[in-house]
Structure 1
Amino acid sequence: MIKVLVPFDFSETSNYAFEFAISLAENYNQLEINLLHVVETPIATGMGTMGGGLDAIPDFENQVFFMELIETRKKQFKEIEEKHKDSSINLKTNLVIGNVYRNIVDVIQEKNPDLVIMGSKGSSGLEEVLIGSNTEKVVRTAPCPVVTVKSSTHVSKMRKVVFASDFRDADDEVASRIRRMQTLFDAQFYFVLVNTPGNFETTRESFARIKTYVQKHKLENIKAEIYNSLSEETGILEFADDIDADMIAMTTHGRTGFLHLITGSIAEDVVNHSKRPVWTFKR
């Protein structure tokens, strides 16, 4: 049984993530979907959605609104359960109260899912540097693979999957995850290595390394590609555009704190800026 966690906030993008999980379940019947909604604990200070801050709302009114919100979310979850109760989808719902990111991490640690699927709007500029999204933080820290989805995507339409890497780290776990993806998607897998001015090598050297990687891990039905660009992130996104890929897959180092602030993450940049689903797994 493959356990899939879908953090769900009833937004359009989280619905896209839920729909993607359902299409996975329809394509692979040994799959369990855990739909998680976190009701944020009210904060006494800060900006409210109507301006002025939550502290401008009397405590009683704030508490009533909070309790009504919880009841509304319970009702919405019940409607989702009713909608799918007669289907073949193995669906569970979980409503918790607290902090969105912290509770997602706690559930990941407790439930140990095989895959997390999250909706994402992406971010850019100062927001990307200083704040980042909950999705980005989960991508960085989750021990299991994470799929980020920004638009309606169905597994049955997956025809081209790009796996971007430098193919220097012959990690057995990564290769195992790629094979798992191949069982889920009836797609052509493109192994692409991006050549940049600051990290240049000949096409022959690049192809030889991809070939060694594929042979070592006994991977099949792989198409090797070399792509030249000014940066790895840009090259991955441009290559995916050029072949009209349906998904991008890549690894992330999962750096946090000061090291992450200085070095950043190509995977997180791709997650932020890609219009396609991105499947990431930490190595």
Structure 2
Amino acid sequence: MKQILLPTDFSEISKNAIDYALELFQDSECTFHFLNTYTPVIYNYDYQMNTGGHVGGVVDIVRNNSKEQLEALKKYVIEKYNNPKHKFELISSFSLLTEEIEFLVEKLNLDLVIMGTKGASGLQEVLFGSNTVHTIKKVKCPVLAIPDGFFFEKPKEILYPTDYKIDYTSNHLMVLKNIAKMYKSTVHILHVSSGNELNETEKQNKDKLDNMLNGIDHIFHTVPDQAIPNAINDFQKTTYIHLLMMVKNKHTFLENLFFKKVIDQIGFNLTIPFLVVPSEF
């Protein structure tokens, strides 16, 4: 049974991501863990003086509110989907989101984290929303980010840009292969050529990737040297992509692409679900 974490702040953005998750895995046996973290707001001076600086009462109020909204969310999804293959657990935690996710990854042996991201005109606004970017950078578990306003579509076409510098493991491709098998998807492996031939290590990694995707429809594409976001955008002009997937490895272009200020200059719009797998997974 899959163990999937669904962080929520009870916004429409997180609710949309939850709907996507339940539809994506509608035919799979899953335990979905709804997580809400909370930290009380900074209290004003008068309040602290009147309470002697004690905030326990306010924490109790916030905690109870969190639990009530989680129960309401559970009721909503059960009534809407009524899927006997799905189980739901509720987690209300007085903690910071990313730290709690890191803890739960180990405690629950999570397979995947699915979370919503703000609608944005550029990738910077999406990935650099504090919760999403911290989760992607720190959590050693695959994270699937669902853009606000993206409603579920069967992921029939999946795009996987890679530079073949990764020594692929079964864990790197586990979520990708699982989704591709469920939906009989085509996986498009996109390589942006620097103009040089692949070296021996890169050739071996490509062959390994080819073998690991055996039984799944997959196509290798090579395009001339250009910015990766441009290559992705151009590819989407000819093939309607439902899911973008990358492995986050500090030694590959993903660090340069997504975690540096160059994002300001490339204007890459994220409008589809984005799966990031950490190299340590």
Q: TM-score, normalised by structure 1?
A: 0.76
Q: In the TM superposition, what is the alpha-carbon distance from 1:101 to its structure 2 partner? A: 2.0
Q: In the TM superposition, what is the alpha-carbon distance from 1:235 to its structure 2 partner? A: 1.9
CA 1:169–1:126 in 2, change beyond 3 Å: closer, same or farther? closer
Distance 2:205 2:224 in 1: 15
* Alignment map for 1:187-202 (pairs within 5 Å): 187-195=185-193, 199-201=194-196
Quote the residue 1:182 is aligned against.
180
Q: Does 1:97 pair with 2:90?
A: no
Quote the residue 1:240 is aligned against.
236
* Alignment map for 1:264-283 (pairs within 5 Å): 264-267=255-258, 273-283=269-279
Contact in 2 for aligned 1:6/1:33 (Cα 8 Å): yes
Distance 1:100 1:6 in 2: 11
Q: Alignment partner for residue 82 of structure 1, among 62, 75, 80?
A: 75
Deviation sequence 1:231-270 (CA, Å, 0-9, x none) = 1233224423542211101100258xxxx9xx94435569
Identity value in percent:
16
**Which consecutive aligned stretches of 4+ in structure 1 deviate over 6 angstroms post-superposition?**
122-129, 207-211
Distance 2:123 2:6 in 1: 27
Structure 1 vs Structure 2 CA RMSD: 3.6
Q: Which ranges in structure 1 are unaligned for 5 or more consecutive residues?
A: 44-53
Q: In the TM superposition, what is the alpha-carbon distance from 1:187 to its structure 2 partner? A: 2.0
SS at match of 2:94: strand
Q: Which ranges in structure 2 are unaligned for 5 or more consecutive residues?
A: none
Distance 2:61 2:139 in 1: 32
Contact in 1 for aligned 2:156/2:180 (Cα 8 Å): no
Distance 1:92 1:146 in 2: 19
Task: Read off the aligned partner of 1:230 and give its amino acid letter.
Answer: Q
Contact in 2 for aligned 1:27/1:156 (Cα 8 Å): no
Task: Read off the aligned partner of 2:207 and give its amino acid letter.
Answer: T
Deviation sequence 1:20-50 (CA, Å, 0-9, x none) = 221133132x11110100012434xxxxxxx
Q: TM-score, normalised by structure 2?
A: 0.76
Distance 2:15 2:151 in 1: 12
SS at match of 1:157: coil
Deviation sequence 1:83-119 (CA, Å, 0-9, x none) = 3446223111111112222222222222120000011
Which has the higher mean CA deviation after the structures are superposed, 19-28 or 148-157?
148-157
Distance 1:16 1:78 in 2: 17
